[in-house]
Amino acid sequence: MQASRSTALVAAALVAANLGVALTPGDLALPARAALAVMVTVALGLLVVQVLRLLRRAAEAEAAASASERRLTGLIAANPILVLDGDARIADVTPAFAELLGVDAAAIAGRHVLDLVDARDRDTAGDGWVATLRRPGMHAPIEVRVRNVDGHIRHLEVIGNNLLHDPAVRGVVVTCRDVTDRHRAQRALARQAMHDALTGLPNRTLFHDRLADALARAARSGTRVGVLFCDLDRFKVLNDSLGHHTGDRLLVEAGERIRAAVRPIDTVARFGGDEFVVLCEDLPGPSGAVAVAERIIDQLDKPFAGATGDIHLSTSVGITIARPDDTPESLVRDADAAMYKAKGRGRNRWELFDEVLRTEALERHNVEQQLRRALDAGDLRLLYQPIIDVRSGAVRGAEALLRWRRPGAGLVTPETFLDVAEETGMIVPITRWALEQACAQVDGWRRLPCAEDVTVSVNLSPRDLLHPSIVADVAAVLARTGVDPSALCLEVTEKVAMGHDEGLLLNLRRLKDLGVRLAIDDFGTGYSSLAHLRRFPADELKIDRSFVAGLGEDPHDTAIVTATISLAHKLGTTVVAEGVESPSQLRQLEALRCELAQGYLFGMPGPPEDIGRAITGDTGLVPCAASTRVRA
Ligand code: C2E
Ligand code: CA
Ligand code: CA
């Protein structure tokens, strides 16, 4: 009875309300749900008007409440609403409000409303109250946290309606909506967006935010910030061989160990894959960062427990210490460069980003900028080096080798720019261009007398082979130039060809299906097992020039060349010896029944016309001359 009387009072207060909603511009940004809440409140208000009309009529008629009255009164009671007096003390609450807090309605009557509000939101609530007092009518919603009787925080969206001037109410009606669940969902989403799902560590985005904050703090306080880029050594191999489930567990534990090796104020983030990046603040200098790197390396050097025994990991760490002009991006890039240096120097170690690396980084940047213009500017060209039939000395084909007329540097060889082209993906359009050029060229040579079987070889990089359109690109070039597919040989280094990337192997098989030839380049340098060779559909195997150089002089090199030729023949693969520089090397290759040879003995990489002339026997570099010289 008490409850229904107080509900009626709240209802009366609402009825008298001027339900026109005055929204501030800020409200426009509220989510749709908030807008809906306001609409519900308005609808509720209208319902309340209805209730009161009914009540008034009922009072006048002194009749018993109708079923409809009871329904509407129940509706009001079911919503958390409270009425405050001019001093913000609680005059009345609905049962739903009392229930929300888990208290008895009578127990909170007369209390100051701010007593219910969590300390963190008291200022917001106080400001809201002052604003509500200043102007009669409905106010924009605000959000506050209240603590229920169990001590749990509830998030409430509250709308105040100042009816102090209304003689029927003389109070402020506050309608509440419990938005705790929405808050929980928003918090979970925000966390997901900023953290790595596997390890729960901050992700790249959060790391960059924290690094930017740390740089700003360091600039004010004069302290130093360090970034450590940690990359697990050979993780990919372990992940592939032990399975992704074990790989995931290793990553989680590696993250925990790195966390344990740094101070609580430091941030450890996972950038994806096996890359972890650490932000250290308040460093005394590089030595502090080095100490952290050493602890991380030690931690990860200890064995990990696997299902079938210990697993050994190690890590390479690149360190950089922020300078005044550094940005989060430049720091991460520099730490990454230092990490690569650590890998190159044998792994399981750290390297500091220093002046040498800074100069190298600058040079790479310049190469990238200039190379971007090279294709369009026509600054790239292909030179061709003849490939010779060891027995007859005839030209069998040529390898296309890339050159770049670099502004200010003349014609430069690929080792000065290939890495950058590969890293940035610029190699993909370059290769497309090279394929087009080389195919047009071989078409021209094949029209010369006795040259209908001449081939052209083009080098493909890993990035090319992983590109989704590589097979279509090659097919399109063949179609456009009208060249027989067997005139084109695609060279892939042994390291790449014998890798474990299934997508890349699939592309190689599809290229093979086009009818083009495939060659394994630099054979002997990739340490692949010979058994692996069977998986790869190679037509040619090119013995790396480092082994050919020792042929007849170094017993190991001689043994490797001999064994490789014999194995290749058993597999039905043609052998090409690279880097043949002397007649004695050529003689031995002939004795070993190596079919093809390439090297300075026959010709340097040169313009395509040189190959044309060599084919027609019209040049000083004619292979026959070399052969004859050897035989003589
Ligand atoms: P590679 O495929 O092993 O090419 C052979 C390299 O050995 C060429 O160097 C060539 O000039 C050099 N060479 C040839 N004969 C001899 C010799 O008798 N003695 C010695 N010491 N060297 C010899 P280059 O042209 O500087 O090319 C270097 C590497 O760059 C190539 O090695 C190849 O891996 C890569 N490359 C060249 N052109 C391209 C291209 O168009 N695309 C891609 N992705 N890579 C290319
Ligand atoms: Ca090659
Ligand atoms: Ca080679």
pLDDT tens track for 420-468: 999 999 999 999 999 999 999 999 999 998 899 999 999 999 999 999 9
What pLDDT was estimated at residue 508?
A: 93
Which range of 185-194, 489-498, 577-586 scores highest in mean pLDDT? It is 577-586
Q: Which ligand places an atom closest to the C-alpha of 437? A: 1
What pLDDT was estimated at residue 23?
A: 36
**Sequence letter at residue 78:** A
Higher pLDDT, 407 or 28: 407
Average pLDDT estimate for 180-186: 94
Which pLDDT band holds residue 626 (cuts at 50, 70, 90)? very low
51-65, 189-203, 250-264, 494-508, range with the lowest pLDDT:
51-65
Q: Which ligand places an atom closest to the C-alpha of 602? A: 1
Q: Is the pLDDT of residue 629 over 60?
A: no
Which pLDDT band holds residue 517 (cuts at 50, 70, 90)? very high
pLDDT, one tens digit per residue, over 489-506 is: 999 998 888 877 788 889
Which residue, by CA, sits nearest to atom 17 of ligand 1? 579
The number of the ligand 1 atom at minimal distance from the alpha carbon of 542 is 3
What pLDDT was estimated at residue 427?
A: 97
Q: Read off the DSSP letter of residue 482.
A: T
Q: What is the 3-state secondary structure (H, E, C) of 398-413?
A: EEEEEEEEECCCEEEC
Which residue, by CA, sits nearest to atom 19 of ligand 1? 579
What pLDDT was estimated at residue 74?
A: 84
d(CA 168, CA 436): 89
What pLDDT was estimated at residue 39?
A: 65
Strands 315-321 and 90-93, sheet pairing: unpaired
Q: Ligand 1: distance of its center to the CA of 385 in Å?
A: 9
Q: Is the pLDDT of residue 28 over 60?
A: no
Q: Give percent of the chain above pLDDT 90.
A: 74
Q: What is the 3-state secondary structure (H, E, C) of 565-631?
A: HHHHHHCCCEEEECCCCCHHHHHHHHHCCCCEECCCCCCCCECHHHHHHHHCCCCCCCHHHHHHHHH
pLDDT, one tens digit per residue, over 104-124 is: 999 999 999 999 999 999 999
Which pLDDT band holds residue 630 (cuts at 50, 70, 90)? very low
Q: Which residue has 């004619």 as its token pair?
A: 622
The number of the ligand 1 atom at minimal distance from the alpha carbon of 464 is 44
Average pLDDT estimate for 513-521: 97
Q: Ligand 3: distance of its center to the CA of 429 in Å?
A: 22
Q: What is the 3-state secondary structure (H, E, C) of 51-83?
A: HHHHHHHHHHHCCCCCHHHHHHHHHHHCCCEEE
What pLDDT was estimated at residue 78?
A: 87
What pLDDT was estimated at residue 536?
A: 80
The number of the ligand 1 atom at minimal distance from the alpha carbon of 544 is 3
d(CA 203, CA 460): 34
Which pLDDT band holds residue 525 (cuts at 50, 70, 90)? confident
Q: Ligand 3: distance of its center to the CA of 377 in Å?
A: 28
What pLDDT was estimated at residue 611?
A: 95
Strands 350-352 and 380-389, sheet pairing: unpaired
The number of the ligand 1 atom at minimal distance from the alpha carbon of 413 is 26
Q: Which ligand places an atom closest to the C-alpha of 542? A: 3
Which residue, by CA, sits nearest to atom 43 of ligand 1? 459
pTM confidence score: 0.65
pLDDT, one tens digit per residue, over 346-394 is: 999 999 999 898 898 889 999 999 999 999 999 999 999 999 999 999 9
Q: Ligand 2: distance of its center to the CA of 399 in Å?
A: 7
Which pLDDT band holds residue 22 (cuts at 50, 70, 90)? very low
Q: Ligand 1: distance of its center to the CA of 401 in Å?
A: 6
C-alpha Rg value of the chain to the nearest Å: 39
Which residue, by CA, sits nearest to atom 33 of ligand 1? 459
Which pLDDT band holds residue 61 (cuts at 50, 70, 90)? low
Instruction: Tokens for 572, please give them.
Output: 């039905």
Which residue, by CA, sits nearest to atom 34 of ligand 1? 459
pLDDT, one tens digit per residue, over 615-624 is: 988 764 444 3
Q: Which of 383, 386, 421, 417 lies closest to 400 in space, CA to CA?
A: 383
Rounded to 5°, the CA angle 247-253-254 comes to 85
The chain-wide mean pLDDT, for the chain, equals: 88
Q: Is the pLDDT of residue 146 over 50?
A: yes
Diameter over CA atoms, the chain: 134
Of 371, 387, 401, the one to substitute when testing ligand 1's pocket (max ligand atoms within 8 A of C-beta) is 401
